[in-house]
Amino acid sequence: MKCKRKILSVSWTQKKTNEWVLEVAGVERDLLNLIKRRKLSYFGHVMRKDGDCLEKEIMQGTVPEARKQGRPKMRWMDDMEKWAKMSFEKLLRETEDRWRWCRLVHEATNPRNEDG
Nearest Cα to 44, choosing from 83, 102, 108, 88? 102
**How far is residue 103's CA from residue 85's CA, in Å, rounded to a whole number?**
14
Which is nearest to 107 in space by CA: 93, 89, 86, 88? Answer: 86
- The pLDDT tens digits of the residues spanning 58-98 come to 777 776 777 778 887 777 888 888 888 888 888 888 888 88
Ramachandran region, residue 56 (left: φ > 0; alpha: ψ -120 to 50; beta: rest): alpha
Taking the CA atoms of the chain, what radius of gyration do you get in angstroms? 20
pLDDT in tens, 9-41: 988 888 888 889 888 888 887 788 888 899 999
The model's pTM is: 0.67
Task: Output the pLDDT for position 60.
Answer: 77
**Whether the predicted pLDDT of 107 surpasses 50:** yes
Task: Write out pLDDT tens, residues 37-66.
Answer: 999 999 989 888 888 888 888 777 776 777
